[in-house]
């Protein structure tokens, strides 16, 4: 009897080892994963190894990759070993509907299902494609599209509009918002739109392809609108500050000329809109697709078949989070109250005073 138990135990151990060996024997392949996630409660996308109190999206992703058997445990500890690269480092609280990460994995059976089984429901892998061995999702990405969902009372004029949730955006105000957003198109020096760059840093110059605000719609008695922006790449806090400055102008706290002024060398106090409404919508690989998309070996990085899954995820996890958090925590309303303490003129006035003194 004892021998029987021992034999069963040995057989089980051998079976488990066989499974592991089979995984080890699977060749590693370079792939991209299409990810969607709700960023509430996370300190952004990028993993901070050694600082476990700040949970990131990548912490959960790497854990799921290890548990599902796609990568060995030591690759989870040192992400360079699997050539891991994310397309965009989304900030704290920011969500994504079309994030792309590139990495080397073992292509196990039912890989997407197995990874998703080890992920919380507000993080999903929606698609997978094989890519060239040298592919790097950050370097090969030629543009990124973000959206920003905000309650329209953010555009209510401070002196002659109702400031509450009953506010409804009129056609003229929407046209003005779009006229101001269009000013950002082209290449400008955005050093005032991040805390990380000085005015003469060449990397502060960024190229914006389009920026506009769509028609408003009502959810749970609050009217919302979505701003879309497509650019080559963005710096930390750049989009939130671009939107924050337009809100300050439309509300009557700052003159229109401040947008042009902010691209100059002087320091301008640009307010940063809350992170809650920001969503990474999609990332673009136009050059890569032209070169490898139809070479017979690789497929273009387009996700038309996944569009429906993306839309369902947004309706289920991203929009309700933005709407409910706005209702409960009033992040936009509270932030709007801080606009009055921004000094939108000081730097220009100081410069004039300094010029006179020097003369």
Q: Where are the domains of the chain?
A: 28-140, 143-282+307-339
| pLDDT (average), residues 8-12 | 54
> Quick check: 75 pLDDT over 90?
no
* pLDDT, tens digit (0-9, with 9 covering 90-100), for 316-337: 999 999 999 999 999 999 999 9
The CA-atom distances, in angstroms, between 279 and each of 37, 83, 309 are 9, 25, 16
Whether 79 has a pLDDT exceeding 80, the answer reads yes
Instruction: Compute the average pLDDT of residues 287-291.
Output: 93
The mean per-residue pLDDT over the stretch 76-80 comes to 86
What gap in Å lies between CA 152 and CA 183, rounded to an integer?
20
Q: How confident is the model at residue 345 (pLDDT cuts 50, 70, 90)?
A: confident
- Taking 80 as the threshold, does the pLDDT of residue 131 lie above it? yes
Distance CA 276, CA 333 (A): 12
Six-digit token string for 28: 């590693």
- Residue 90: pLDDT band with limits 50, 70, 90: confident
295-307 pLDDT, tens digit per residue, is 888 889 999 999 9
Tokens of 10: 């040995």
What are 160-178's pLDDT values in tens digits? 899 889 999 999 999 999 9
Most confident of 12-16, 49-53, 75-79: 75-79
Active site residues: 91
Backbone angles phi and psi of 205, in degrees to 5: -80, 125
Question: What Cα–Cα distance (Å) separates residue 110 from each residue in 71, 106, 122, 277, 315?
Answer: 15, 12, 20, 34, 26
Q: What pLDDT is attached to residue 359? A: 46
pLDDT above 80: residue 346: no
Q: Quick: pLDDT tens for 237-267.
A: 999 999 999 999 999 999 999 999 999 999 9
Of the chain, the percentage scoring pLDDT greater than 90 comes to 74
CATH topology of domain 143-282+307-339: Alpha-Beta Plaits (3.30.70)
**Averaged over 11-34, what is the pLDDT?**
67
Handedness of CA 330, 334, 335, 336 (dihedral sign): positive
More confident residue, 142 or 77: 142
CA distance 325 to 309: 23
Asked if pLDDT for residue 92 goes beyond 90, the answer is: no
202-244 per-position pLDDT tens digit: 999 999 999 999 999 999 899 999 999 999 999 999 999 999 9
**pLDDT range class, residue 36, cuts 50, 70, 90:** very high
Question: Does domain 28-140 fall into CATH 3.30.70.270?
Answer: no
What is the value of pTM for the model shown? Answer: 0.86
Residues 100, 184, 274, 213: is their CA dihedral positive or negative?
negative
Element (H or E) spanning 227, and its range?
Answer: strand 222-231
Nearest in space to 318 (alpha carbons), one of 42, 37, 55 = 37
| Helix (H/G/I), strand (E/B), else coil: 67 | helix
Is the pLDDT at 24 greater than 90? The verdict is: no
Instruction: Please compute the mean of the pLDDT values over residues 64-77 and round it to a whole number.
Output: 91
Q: Is 146 annotated as a binding residue?
A: yes
DSSP strand pairing (85-86 vs 28-37): unpaired
Both tokens assigned to 71:
């990568």
- Mean pLDDT on 95-109: 95
Mean local confidence (pLDDT), 130-147: 94
Separation in Å, CA 107 to CA 27, 63, 82, 281, 292: 8, 17, 13, 27, 21
When pLDDT is cut at 50, 70 and 90, the band that residue 91 belongs to is confident
**Residue-averaged pLDDT of the chain:** 89
């Amino acid at each position: 009897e004892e021998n029987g138990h021992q034999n069963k135990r040995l057989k089980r151990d051998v079976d488990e080892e066989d499974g592991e060996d089979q995984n080890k024997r699977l060749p590693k392949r370079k792939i991209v994963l299409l990810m969607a996630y709700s960023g509430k409660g996370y300190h952004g996308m990028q993993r901070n190894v050694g600082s476990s109190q700040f949970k990131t999206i990548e912490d959960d992703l790497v854990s799921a990759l290890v548990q599902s058997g796609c990568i060995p445990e030591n690759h989870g500890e040192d992400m360079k070993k699997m050539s891991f690269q994310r397309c965009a480092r989304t900030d704290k609280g920011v969500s994504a509907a079309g994030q792309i990460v590139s990495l080397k994995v073992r292509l196990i059976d039912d890989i997407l299902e197995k990874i998703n089984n080890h992920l919380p429901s507000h993080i999903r892998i929606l698609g997978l494609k094989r890519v060239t061995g040298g592919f790097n999702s950050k370097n090969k990405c030629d543009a990124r599209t973000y959206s920003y969902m905000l309650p329209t009372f953010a555009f209510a004029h401070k002196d002659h509009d109702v400031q509450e949730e009953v506010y409804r955006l009129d056609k003229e105000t929407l046209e003005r918002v779009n006229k101001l957003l269009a000013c950002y198109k082209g290449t400008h020096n955005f050093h005032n739109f991040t805390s990380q760059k000085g005015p003469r840093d060449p990397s502060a110059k960024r190229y914006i392809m389009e920026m506009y605000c769509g028609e408003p719609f009502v959810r749970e008695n609050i009217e919302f609108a979505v701003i879309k922006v497509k650019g080559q790449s963005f710096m930390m806090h750049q989009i939130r500050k671009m939107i924050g400055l337009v809100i300050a102008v439309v509300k009557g706290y700052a003159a229109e000329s401040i947008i042009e002024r902010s691209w100059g060398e002087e320091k301008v106090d640009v307010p940063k809109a809350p992170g809650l409404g920001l969503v990474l919508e999609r990332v673009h690989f136009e050059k890569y697709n032209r070169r490898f998309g139809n070479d017979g070996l690789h497929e273009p990085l387009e996700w038309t078949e996944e569009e429906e899954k993306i839309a369902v995820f947004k309706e289920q996890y991203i929009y309700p989070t933005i709407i409910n958090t706005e209702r409960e925590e009033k992040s936009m309303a509270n932030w709007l109250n801080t606009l009055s303490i921004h000094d939108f003129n000081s730097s220009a006035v100081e410069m004039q005073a300094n010029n006179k003194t020097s003369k």
